[in-house]
């Protein structure tokens, strides 16, 4: 299976870099944002919508698809790409974060995590070997190691214990992975502690993965702490391989992380915020349920070429939202995904033209208007 990462260009003023990830189902130009398709769908959108919006790669959730409909069902039906009618690359997470955040009851051991399903209370054991089995059955283009997402706050002792467990699980994932498996990324944990993050990087790099991710960020820590961890850890990761920041998706955070050398991101922010009526604009955000938009004939954002802004007014979108019409989820999600894809495209263009520092300055200037 062919997998490679090429660095095409880099910013002379910052750590931002332009690259290409080659997978079995196509190329991903980086920096790239990955919309989350938890249940084998990006909520309210079709694959054709995603392609039209410029989406290159999507994320599918191992935990959810294991519980329903089951990875064996999806494998029998031809794999996840055929099952959901998406021909582009798919990254699957390990399911670890969902176990820790959604499971009604869970018990962590060296073997893995025993948990109760949030759907029916049934008991399951997720091990490093099991998550590799699930992701392989789904037919992922990029797989993730099972890790324990270190909570915030955590003491140094707690973060050390969690890191040790994640390193052992990563080793077992690596040993389970075979040449016929998709590329496997290791996940760096370590809480907010620089020495632990450095230890995590060292252990994972020694094992030799196809890419590396920063986990345990955006879990309730102050924004400054998150950025400090990223600024310290990203330069430690191998320059020649993809750097993935998991679960981070606020626009300003994406710009900052790109300037630090991150390549790919995923987050539910654009889709979840869309369903809650929160829309992203170049100047900030707009809450469509506010009464001031009841008779507002303007599009969400002047000059935005997305389908929603081209055809519908703020007043109509507010009406749909207040009436709880399902169409509003589709229209607002189209706009938010368009915003994120445009942001990433503009960053790639700026890096390629050697003006990323100016782009970053203009990005913040627009938000102050």
* DSSP output for 321-363: HHTT-THHHHHHHHHHHHHHHHHHHHHHHHHHTT-HHHHHHHH
CA distance 213 to 234: 9
Element (H, E) at 280: strand 278-281
Whether the pLDDT of residue 369 is over 90: the answer is no
Whether the pLDDT of residue 136 is over 90: the answer is yes
300-338 pLDDT, tens per residue? 999 999 999 999 999 999 999 999 999 999 999 999 999
Closest by Cα among 201, 260, 185 to 23: 185
CA distance 91 to 111: 25
Does residue 49 carry a catalytic annotation? no
* Of 206, 266, 296, 362, catalytic: 266
Quick one: fold of 33-266? Answer: TIM Barrel (3.20.20)
Residues of the chain with CATH 3.20.20.105: 33-266
- Supply the pLDDT for residue 2: 84
- Supply the pLDDT for residue 212: 98
Closest by Cα among 119, 40, 27 to 78: 40
Percent with pLDDT over 90 in the chain: 93
What token pair was written down for 50?
């995603």
* Of 93, 141, 253, 263, catalytic: 93
CA distance 168 to 158: 16
- Supply the pLDDT for residue 99: 83
DSSP of 1-42, one letter per residue?
Answer: ---EEEEEEE-SSSS-EEEEEEETTEEEEESEEEEEETTSS-
Percent with pLDDT over 70 in the chain: 99
Does residue 93 carry a catalytic annotation? yes
140-198 pLDDT, tens per residue? 999 999 999 999 999 999 999 999 999 999 999 999 987 678 999 999 999 999 999 99
Whether the pLDDT of residue 67 is over 80: the answer is yes
- Supply the pLDDT for residue 179: 66
Lowest-confidence pick of 16-20, 50-54, 69-73, 112-116: 112-116
- Supply the pLDDT for residue 368: 80
Lowest-confidence pick of 47-56, 67-76, 229-238, 360-369: 360-369
Task: Using alpha carbons, list the distances in angstroms from residue 327 to 62, 279, 305.
Answer: 28, 15, 19
- Supply the pLDDT for residue 360: 97
Distance of CA 293 to the CA centre of its chain: 32
Whether the pLDDT of residue 104 is over 80: the answer is no
DSSP bridge partners of 29: 20
10-30 pLDDT, tens per residue? 998 899 999 999 999 999 999
């Amino acid at each position: 299976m062919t997998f490679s990462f090429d660095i095409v260009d880099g910013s002379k003023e910052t750590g931002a870099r332009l690259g290409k990830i080659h997978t079995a189902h196509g190329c991903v130009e980086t920096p790239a944002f990955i919309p989350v398709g938890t249940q084998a769908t990006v909520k309210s959108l079709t694959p054709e919508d995603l392609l039209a919006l410029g989406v290159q790669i999507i994320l599918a959730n191992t935990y959810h698809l294991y519980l329903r409909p089951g990875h064996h069902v999806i494998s029998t039906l031809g794999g996840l790409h055929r099952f959901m009618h998406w021909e582009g690359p798919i990254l699957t997470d390990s399911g670890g974060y969902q176990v820790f955040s959604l499971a009604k009851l869970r018990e962590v051991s060296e073997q893995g995590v025993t948990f109760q399903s949030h759907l029916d209370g049934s008991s399951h054991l997720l091990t490093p070997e099991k998550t590799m089995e699930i992701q392989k059955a789904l037919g992922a283009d990029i797989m993730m190691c099972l890790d324990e997402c270190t909570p915030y706050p955590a003491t140094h002792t707690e973060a050390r214990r969690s890191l040790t467990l994640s390193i052992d699980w990563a080793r077992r994932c690596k040993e389970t992975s075979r040449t016929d498996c998709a590329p496997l990324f290791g996940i760096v944990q370590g809480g907010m502690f620089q020495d632990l993050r450095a230890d995590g990087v060292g252990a994972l790099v020694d094992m030799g993965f196809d890419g590396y991710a920063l986990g345990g960020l955006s879990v309730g820590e102050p924004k400054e702490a998150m950025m400090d961890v990223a600024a310290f850890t990203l330069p430690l990761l191998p320059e020649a391989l993809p750097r993935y920041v998991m679960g981070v998706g606020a626009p300003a955070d994406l710009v900052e992380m790109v300037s630090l050398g991150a390549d790919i991101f995923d987050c539910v922010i654009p889709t979840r915020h869309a369903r809650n009526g929160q829309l992203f604009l170049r100047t900030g955000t707009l809450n469509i349920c506010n009464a001031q938009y009841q008779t507002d004939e303007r599009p969400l954002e002047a000059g935005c070429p997305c389908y929603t802004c081209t055809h519908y007014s703020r007043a109509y979108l507010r009406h749909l939202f207040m009436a709880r019409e399902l169409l509003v989820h589709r229209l607002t999600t189209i706009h938010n995904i368009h915003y994120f894809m445009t942001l990433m495209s503009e960053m790639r263009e700026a890096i390629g033209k050697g003006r990323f520092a100016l782009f970053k300055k203009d990005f913040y200037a627009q938000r102050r208007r």
